[in-house]
Structure 1
């Protein structure tokens, strides 16, 4: 069982079809318009709604900030690598896949999923071991984006990179020590972007699998950015170069 908590993540899950949501629990006394919208969406999808005391929701959400509403659902359903590749954004002529090498913080994972979705990535690839998985916290931090973008979980990340290469992907690894600026490549064609873990960055084997390493030039006295911030900057630059962004897309 997983729990989606918070108004926006739950609304996004229902708007996208409510797949896996088995019931919705609302804290007694919550009746404002945002809750009414959730109840209407739940009714349309045949999902039962329960009214319970707030303490019951506290227990289900692990005392996280649930905003008085949550959805109980089956475990997150991961996709396979082919489904991720097939999910090209209709407004972009090229593929873009985000590969995460050992992101441990669920808040960083959620933020990266949100950025990947907002910048039109096909999907995301995670390793099965030594990495955060998609949980209620991740879904909430992603603002519901985790329900709109396919995420694959693979047993061997290096092998997944090899498979992407056989399908024509050029693999860029984000590395603070790289001499090449993020703005240098043209990023034309199918692109895989690898972001390393919070403490150690890219693992040596994964770094060797990358075709190019890129970094973000900085002026401050701190030599690195949070991985989710770095990911957002690089994803934006890739899309700006190979698929010009506009407010109509």
Structure 2
């Protein structure tokens, strides 16, 4: 595992989930706003006691300062780092387990709210890992953690230097690549079984041309309204539930 700089997890859902699921050594400090509801404060204190963590009661303006006035809901955790998985090791692990994983590759998603929402849907649909580029894209941040409502702790995320090279390498390992585009096969016909990677493009530009050339098939979401585009996280959600339907049919 590799890490980035110290950051914060904030918000009640994300904070409580982090306290429940992560090791104590990953949490530097707990900031709890003075005057929060008693039942919520008791829940935080119980979780902190189990991990032998100290809580610092602080005024709201202190928590506002730590989170740049984001909606922290009275709870902020100072954490050691957000962690990324090593893609090589993860793929080796899948092979050893005889697994046919489903991976999601995000081509330069820049909005951390979109990334957080996507991770939330990944957790809901059983995505095995997410691949993002190291440059010109949102990484794992406190905003992503808050938006994901805790999913950031359960979905492995790998950062790579070059998406095209990573795609070629994964193809050699037996993965099939499907990318979203304005023209292509109707997504409702998509069979997402086997070793599969879905590629979602940038919010404004879509999938970069060099990466698009590597796709085994392009998929499109038909639209009959006046607006011919969807938010990146919404489009990803549509595609992931088609994947879920393909892999877990009702009959």
Q: Which deviates more from structure 2 when the two are superposed, residues 33-42 or residues 51-60?
A: 33-42
- Is the 8 Å Cα contact of residues 176 and 195 (structure 2) preserved in structure 1? yes
Corresponding residue for 2:46? 40
Which of 67, 70, 73 matches 2:76?
Answer: 70
Cα displacement string for residues 46-93 of structure 1 (whole angstroms, at most 9, x for unaligned residues): 2221101111111001110101111001221111114544787xxxx6
- Report the TM-score, using the length of structure 2 for normalisation: 0.91
- Is the 8 Å Cα contact of residues 32 and 76 (structure 2) preserved in structure 1? yes
- Is the 8 Å Cα contact of residues 122 and 240 (structure 2) preserved in structure 1? yes
RMSD (Å), alpha carbons: 1.9
1:219 and 2:224 matched? yes
- Report the TM-score, using the length of structure 1 for normalisation: 0.92
Deviating beyond 3 angstroms after TM superposition, the runs of 4 or more aligned structure 1 residues are 82-88
Corresponding residue for 1:26? 32
- Is the 8 Å Cα contact of residues 85 and 123 (structure 1) preserved in structure 2? no
State the distance in 2 between where 1:14 and 1:162 align.
Answer: 39
- Give ranges in structure 2 of 5+ residues lacking alignment: 1-5
- Is the 8 Å Cα contact of residues 180 and 199 (structure 2) preserved in structure 1? yes
Cα displacement string for residues 22-53 of structure 1 (whole angstroms, at most 9, x for unaligned residues): 11100111243233222211221222211011
Which of 238, 245, 249 matches 1:244?
Answer: 249
Which of 126, 137, 141 matches 1:135?
Answer: 141
Which of 104, 107, 110 matches 1:101?
Answer: 107
- Is the 8 Å Cα contact of residues 7 and 35 (structure 1) preserved in structure 2? no
- Is the 8 Å Cα contact of residues 94 and 243 (structure 1) preserved in structure 2? no
**Shift in CA distance, 234/87, structure 1 to aligned 2, threshold 3 Å:** farther
State the distance in 2 between where 1:83 and 1:151 align.
Answer: 12
Corresponding residue for 1:12? 17
1:164 and 2:170 matched? yes
